Every structure is written in structure tokens, then in C-alpha cells.
């Protein structure tokens, strides 16, 4: 057998192995989804979505959990997106390439792989105790922001690097300064890649349980955070940020630790709702990414 034929054989074998690995992963995922749907589809309904947790599995609901999840993820996104993009833009476009910048790059990349419980301990000390935020929505969102920030920063830097230098040079040739070039040309061109990183970061954050348990998020809660809409001027209230909360991952974890079979069905229903929220968030981000991709054609 010639060298060329041997290389072709290796190429085909690698292609077959790659296909088998992909099918294996998809089959496991499909099995898990089907199993969850079979167990939890019967619990889905208006009563399940609008009821508070209960000691009786047939009466238990996820109202406080899914509302808390939405609260936490909205605040996490509002904190993570601007801070992550700003930090990455500074490191990529403004900072000088020296030992300090190399040190920051290495540590940011390493932070993306730190176990989430470590961020929970940091959030407990800084946000809960030092800043006095307690077991609040804001403390939980800031803790999850620590988890998501390294992912957003790394993805944003890669997206900025992918923007051709010809775009920057064209803007400078027309008289734009550094900030005008970055704000008006570079960031919009890199936005599809930035949003891809945001999707990955928020997808990880929405399923995190360890950091929120570490900061003392409530397991059983029979009330909702204060509504952000107020009847008094200025008609917006931020009091809900300092209220106690729980989230779907914690509620699901609590139910699966119970011995009654009914709570396993409740947990499966909660998983379905959590997946639906994650898909809606990702769908919105993917829609925005495609919108920016159409505008940023190089």
C-alpha cells in the first residue's frame, strides 16, 4: 500500500470515528431529553407554573423558582455584557503588549476553567458579607457574573482579533480617531462573535447551582421579588434586587433529594421549564447575532 493510499485510509477512518463520536453524543442527549419529557410532561400546566413549592408533590409549583431565574439572568446579563466587552476591548485595542498584559491574558484564560464553587465562596465573602447585600437577587447575579465574565472576555477578544485591519485603516484614513473606529466599526463588525460568547456564558450561568447555594440562596421560598414596575413615579422599582430568591436549578436539586416519587416528576417538569428558558435566551441572542452578521459584511 502506497503512502498516499494509507493517508486516504486514515482520513476516512478519522471521518468515521468523528461521525460515531457525534452520533454518540447526540444519542445520549436525545435519550436524556426524551426521559425528562416522559417523566415531567404530565406535570406541566398553569397550576405548576403559578404555584409555590409545597410539601405535597401534587401541589408543588415553580412560580418563585422560574421568576427568580429570570430576575437573576437578566441582572447577570446586564452586568456581564458591558463589563466583559469593555474589558476585552481595552485588552485588545488599547493596552500595550507587555508582561502585565500577558499576565492578565493568562489569568483570564485560566479563570474560565475555575470550578464555579470557588466563585461562590468569593461571592459569599465580597457581595454577601463585605458589601452587605445578603441573600439577595443582586448578590446572586453578581456571583454568576464572575462565572460568566471570563468566557465573555475571551470570546470577545477572539472576535475583535478576527476583524480585518483594513477596516481600522479605512476608518483612520477618513479621519476617525481611535475611539470612533473601535465604537463605530470594530465592535459592530465583531458583534456576531461577541454574542456567541455571551450565549455560551449565559448558558453556563443559567444552570449553575453551586455558587448560589454557597452564597445562601433560599431552597424554599413562598414569595416573589418586588415587581420592577411601580405605581409611583418614576414607575420603576429596584427593590426586588435586594429581596431573597431561589432559582430553578436549586429547586430541582431540592426535589430530586426527596424520597417521594412525585417530586421526581416535579423535578423533571422544572428541568423542561429551565430548558425552555435557556432556549428562549439563546434564541434571542442567535437572532441578534444574525442581525449583526448581515450588517457586518466585510
CA angle 132, 137, 143 (to 5 degrees): 75
* Whole-number pLDDT of residue 235: 67
User: What is the domain-level CATH number for residue 221?
Assistant: 1.10.3720.10
167 and 193 share one domain: yes
pTM value > 0.85: no
25 and 131 co-located in one domain:
no
8 and 116 share one domain: no
List CB contacts of 99: < 8 A, sequence separation 6 or more.
none
Q: How far is CA 285 from CA 158, 196, 274, 292, in A?
A: 18, 8, 17, 11
Q: Are residues 36 and 65 in the same domain?
A: no
Same domain, 15 and 81: no
Name the one residue in this structure whose C-alpha cell is 409545597. Answer: 54
Question: What's the CA gap between 18 and 37, in Å, rounded?
Answer: 29
Each residue's pLDDT tens digit, 34-92: 888 888 878 888 888 888 888 887 888 888 888 888 888 889 989 999 999 998 998 88
Of 70, 110, 64, the C-alpha closest to 221 is 64
Do 3 and 95 have their domain in common? Answer: no
Spans in the chain with pLDDT lower than 70: 1, 231, 233-235, 293-298
* Residue listed under C-alpha cell 443559567: 206
Residues in the chain: 298
Which residues does residue 67 pair with via DSSP β-bridges, in sequence order?
none
Number of domains forming the structure of the chain: 2
Examine residue 100 and say whether the peptide bond preceding it is cis (omega within 30 degrees of 0).
no
Q: What is the pLDDT of residue 1?
A: 62
Clarify whether residues 174 and 273 are in a common domain.
Answer: yes
Clarify whether residues 33 and 148 are in a common domain: no
pLDDT at 14: 84
Q: What pLDDT does 82 receive?
A: 92
Tell me the three-class secondary structure of the chain, residue by residue: CCHHHHHHHHHHHHHHHHHHHHHHHHHHHHHHHHHHHHHHHHHCCHHHHHCCCCCCCCCCCCHHHHHHHHHHHHHHHHHHHHHHHHHHHHHHHHCCCCHHHHHHHHHHHHHCCCCHHHHHHHHHHHHHHHCCCCCCHHHHHHHHHHHHHHHHHHHHHHHHHCCCHHHHHHHHHCCCCHHHHHHHHHHHHHHHHHHHHHHHHHHHHHCCCHHHHHCCCCCCCCCCCCCCECCCCCCECCHHHHCCCCCHHHHHHHHHCCCCHHHHHHHHHHHHHHHHHHHHHHHHHHHHHHHHHHHCCC
Q: What is the pLDDT of residue 297?
A: 55
Q: Are 222 and 215 in contact (CB under 8 A)?
A: no
Q: Are residues 23 and 60 in the same domain?
A: no
Looking at the fold, whether 140 and 275 belong to one and the same domain comes out as yes
Q: 179 and 36, same structural domain?
A: no
Cell 426521559 belongs to 35
CA–CA separation, 79 vs 271, rounded Å? 26
The domain in which residue 39 lies consists of 1-43
Residues 126, 265 within the same domain: yes
Amino acid at each position: 500500500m502506497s503512502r498516499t493510499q494509507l493517508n486516504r485510509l486514515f482520513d476516512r477512518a478519522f471521518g468515521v470515528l468523528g461521525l460515531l463520536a457525534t452520533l454518540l453524543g447526540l444519542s445520549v442527549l436525545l435519550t436524556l431529553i426524551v426521559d425528562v419529557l416522559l417523566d415531567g410532561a404530565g406535570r406541566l400546566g398553569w397550576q405548576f407554573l403559578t404555584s409555590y413549592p409545597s410539601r405535597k408533590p401534587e401541589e408543588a409549583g415553580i412560580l418563585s423558582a422560574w421568576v427568580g431565574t429570570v430576575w437573576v439572568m437578566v441582572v447577570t446579563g446586564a452586568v456581564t455584557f458591558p463589563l466583559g466587552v469593555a474589558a476585552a476591548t481595552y485588552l485588545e485595542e488599547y493596552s500595550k503588549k507587555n508582561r502585565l498584559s500577558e499576565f492578565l491574558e493568562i489569568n483570564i484564560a485560566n479563570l474560565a476553567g475555575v470550578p464555579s464553587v470557588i466563585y461562590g465562596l468569593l461571592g459569599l465573602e465580597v457581595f454577601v458579607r463585605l458589601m452587605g447585600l445578603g441573600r439577595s437577587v443582586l448578590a446572586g447575579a453578581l456571583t454568576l457574573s464572575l462565572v460568566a465574565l471570563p468566557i465573555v472576555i475571551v470570546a470577545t477578544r477572539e472576535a475583535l482579533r478576527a476583524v480585518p485591519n483594513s477596516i481600522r485603516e479605512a476608518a483612520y484614513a477618513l479621519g476617525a480617531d481611535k475611539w470612533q473606529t473601535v465604537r463605530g466599526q470594530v465592535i459592530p463588525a465583531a458583534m456576531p462573535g461577541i454574542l456567541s460568547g455571551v450565549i455560551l456564558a449565559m448558558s453556563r450561568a443559567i444552570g449553575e447551582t453551586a455558587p448560589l447555594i454557597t452564597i445562601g440562596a433560599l431552597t424554599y421560598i413562598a414569595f416573589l421579588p418586588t415587581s420592577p414596575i411601580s405605581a409611583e413615579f418614576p414607575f420603576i422599582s429596584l427593590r426586588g434586587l435586594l429581596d431573597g430568591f431561589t432559582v430553578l436549578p436549586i429547586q430541582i436539586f431540592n426535589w430530586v433529594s426527596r424520597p417521594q416519587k412525585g417530586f421526581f416528576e416535579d423535578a423533571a417538569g422544572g428541568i423542561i421549564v429551565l430548558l425552555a428558558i435557556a432556549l428562549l435566551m439563546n434564541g434571542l441572542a442567535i437572532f441578534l447575532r444574525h442581525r449583526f452578521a448581515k450588517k457586518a459584511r466585510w
